Amino acid sequence: MDVGRRSKGLRVMWARLAAGMVLIWHLGLQGCDSILGPEPEVEEFGLGLQSVFRVPFDSADRGWAPFVMNGTQYLALAAEILDSMLYELDAASFQEVQRLGGDIGNRVHDMVYFEIDGASYLALASSAGVEPKICRWEVSQFVEYQIVPRQDPSNRMTDLEDFVIDGVSYLGAAMTESPSYVFKWNGTAFEEFQTIPTRHDARALDAQNAVDLAVFYINDVLYLAVAEHREGPARIYSWRGSDFEVAQSIDATYTHSVLAFVAGGVNFLALTTSGQHNRIYAWRGDKFEQVTATEYGHSDQWSFFATGDDGPYYLALANFQGRPSEIFEFDPTLFQ
């Protein structure tokens, strides 16, 4: 296991939790005082986005999970309706490795890959009524290893995050209608460690309907981008020493997810929306400006990965409605 990477991931996790708590408090006390004008029109859809792979069927996908295992780049695709899938990057093409079918890969909302004591695992967060699973890599495929324990199987698990504290592996699970969970590795399996009260109260949050967060730094300034599934703009907050303040509002109604990433030395922000287009923004010194977009919307999540420090760079888009999911090779040099 790469302890350094896990330690860094743990710091990011706690920063994300702390930022989220401050943001909730902040949103309850103040509204958005500064709304920027409409974003500029995109002159050319698909600029910098070259499609290199498309899933051969529409399975109402929730998200991609890129990871490297034994030196090979893999991508797991969480599917709501059909089987979840596992692909590998072989030379310059993506090849199917495994269909996670049956009781393992159906109605999956999220996946996370992690390693413990040299073994490779893939955890799957499932919809209501489906037991979440942890699979372990055996020779050439993932096989079911453990059913994730939880008090109420009727509640939906929407997100999984792995982290390490003092050399011990943990797994955090976000739930929709019940307390969320933290599970601890006991040497052979995960067991319930702690419950965290996270049930959403729209009135307490002033009905902001935040559905995703992205925490990132630009020039040593901490930013927090929030995807809000509602009528109105997505917001970017910056830390001002004692709380978060609105730094920018983006005219992107009903956003599903927000992804912050760096490619070619440029900071980018990618949004999926319920609207006509999924949009990508580049940092221009003091704010994000839209630089490209897909010709379609109604997507669930962007994911980013690179096969080297200088690329190639890839953006994977999980489409939930109307078309198969897709992987693009991304060219940041067009926006430098």
Which residue ranges make up each domain of the chain?
A: 1-62+202-336, 102-199
Q: How confident is the model at residue 175 (pLDDT cuts 50, 70, 90)?
A: confident
Q: How confident is the model at residue 305 (pLDDT cuts 50, 70, 90)?
A: very high
What pLDDT, on a 0 to 100 scale, did the predictor assign at position 263? Answer: 97
What pLDDT, on a 0 to 100 scale, did the predictor assign at position 237? Answer: 87
Instruction: Over range 191-198, report the average pLDDT.
Output: 79
Inform me whether the pLDDT recorded for 131 exceeds 70. Answer: yes
Q: Assign 8 to helix, strand or coil.
A: helix
Q: How confident is the model at residue 61 (pLDDT cuts 50, 70, 90)?
A: confident
Residue with tokens 């890959």: 113
Instruction: Over range 61-69, report the average pLDDT.
Output: 92
Token readout for 135 is 């699979």
Instruction: Over range 213-234, report the average pLDDT.
Output: 81
CB 107 within 8 A of CB 139: no
Question: Which range, of 63-72, 84-93, 242-251, 310-319, averages the lowest pLDDT?
Answer: 242-251
Quote the Cα angle for 284-285-291, to 5°: 5
| Separation between Cα atoms, residue 333 and residue 257, nearest integer Å | 24
| Separation between Cα atoms, residue 201 and residue 176, nearest integer Å | 11
Inform me whether the pLDDT recorded for 269 exceeds 70. Answer: yes
Report how far apart, in Å, the C-alpha atoms of 77 and of each of 82, 133, 150, 251 are.
Answer: 11, 15, 23, 29
CB 164 within 8 A of CB 143: no
Instruction: Over range 259-282, report the average pLDDT.
Output: 91
Instruction: Over range 157-175, report the average pLDDT.
Output: 85
Inform me whether the pLDDT recorded for 93 exceeds 80. Answer: yes
What pLDDT, on a 0 to 100 scale, did the predictor assign at position 201? Answer: 42
**Mean pLDDT of the chain, nearest integer:** 79
What pLDDT, on a 0 to 100 scale, did the predictor assign at position 157? Answer: 78
What pLDDT, on a 0 to 100 scale, did the predictor assign at position 294? Answer: 92
Q: How confident is the model at residue 24 (pLDDT cuts 50, 70, 90)?
A: very low
Q: Assign 102 to helix, strand or coil.
A: coil
Inform me whether the pLDDT recorded for 41 exceeds 80. Answer: no
> Is the N-terminal amide bond of 149 cis, ω within 30° of 0?
no
What pLDDT, on a 0 to 100 scale, did the predictor assign at position 232? Answer: 64
Of the candidates 331, 335, 327, the one whose C-alpha atom is nearest the C-alpha of residue 75 is 327
What pLDDT, on a 0 to 100 scale, did the predictor assign at position 39? Answer: 44
What pLDDT, on a 0 to 100 scale, did the predictor assign at position 306? Answer: 95
Inform me whether the pLDDT recorded for 279 exceeds 70. Answer: yes
Of the candidates 139, 130, 75, 74, the one whose C-alpha atom is nearest the C-alpha of residue 101 is 130
What pLDDT, on a 0 to 100 scale, did the predictor assign at position 6? Answer: 43
**High-pLDDT (> 90) share of the chain, %:** 40
Q: How confident is the model at residue 214 (pLDDT cuts 50, 70, 90)?
A: confident
Radius of gyration of the chain (CA): 19
What pLDDT, on a 0 to 100 scale, did the predictor assign at position 253? Answer: 65
Token readout for 183 is 């599970």
| Separation between Cα atoms, residue 227 and residue 217, nearest integer Å | 17
Instruction: Over range 162-191, report the average pLDDT.
Output: 87
Q: How confident is the model at residue 181 (pLDDT cuts 50, 70, 90)?
A: confident
Inform me whether the pLDDT recorded for 9 exceeds 50. Answer: no
